[in-house]
Amino acid sequence: FPFIWMLSTSLKVPTQVFSQPPVWIPDPVVLRNYIDVTTEVPMLRYLQNTLIITLIPTAATVVASSSVAFAFARLEWRGRGLFFAILMGTMMLPWQVTMIPIFVMFHKIGSAFYIFLLRQFFLSIPKEMDEAAIMDGANPPLIWWRITLPLAGPALAAVAIFSFIGHWNEFLAPLIYLQRASKWPLALGLI
């Protein structure tokens, strides 16, 4: 229903948008609205910016989170439990608390939630697969790349979807960080 209402509203003249009672079927149908939105506002530029700030961080999040989760789930090293507890502690900090230090440092660490999700999935993969790969001469990065990642397709897809939606819908970060309108994503360009 919201999509149908949005489509109907996009084809109305301005006086019909907020009229009471609501106009369900536009009369006249105004296709010119679609041309106006791309000529009066750099909507295609905003879309391009949105795709750049969505696709690149999504890919980086999937790679970084899966490699860190692999280290927590499959490798034995001293302090692993402590570092994982610290990582989980970062999930208790809302983004608004860390946004100023991030702005100052121009550095943002990956989401602890994605690492946790992937770690839990990696723990469900039998260790015998790693042991067999080690017997065949594989090292941990090769095990991660050739065995763990192909088996973790559903979990990686979930991380990619969550990350994509999170970056696509982000409003506050671009509002704070981006000073020029030519760099705005759709979320800012629509206001």
Q: Per residue in 39-77, pLDDT tens?
A: 888 988 999 999 999 999 999 999 999 999 999 999 999
Q: Could you say which DSSP state residue 20 is in?
A: S
Is residue 61 packed enough to be buried (19+ CB in 10 Å), middle (13-18) or exposed (0-12)? buried
In degrees, rounded to 5, the angle at the alpha carbon of residue 159 between the alpha carbons of residues 157 and 161 is 70
* Angle, CA of 114, 173 and 41, to the nearest 5°: 120
Bond from prior residue into 150 cis (ω within 30 degrees of 0) = no
- In the chain, how long is the greatest CA-to-CA distance? 74
Q: Decide: 109 and 156 in contact? Cβ < 8 Å.
A: no
Q: What is the DSSP letter of 137?
A: T
pLDDT digits (tens, 9 = 90+) for 2-31: 999 999 999 999 999 999 999 899 989 999
CB 122 within 8 A of CB 70: yes
The dihedrals phi and psi of 58, each to the nearest 5 degrees, come to -65, -45
Residue 107 tokens read as 């550095």
Instruction: Check residue 108 and give its pLDDT.
Output: 46
Count of alpha carbons within 13 Å of 180, Cβ hemisphere only?
5
pLDDT of 75-115, one tens digit each? 999 999 999 998 888 778 887 777 666 656 544 444 678 88
Predicted confidence at residue 111, as pLDDT, reads 67
152-174 pLDDT, tens digit per residue, is 999 999 999 999 998 898 898 88
How far does CA 1 lie from the centroid of its chain? Answer: 26
Give the SS3 label for residue 78: coil
Predicted structure pTM score:
0.74
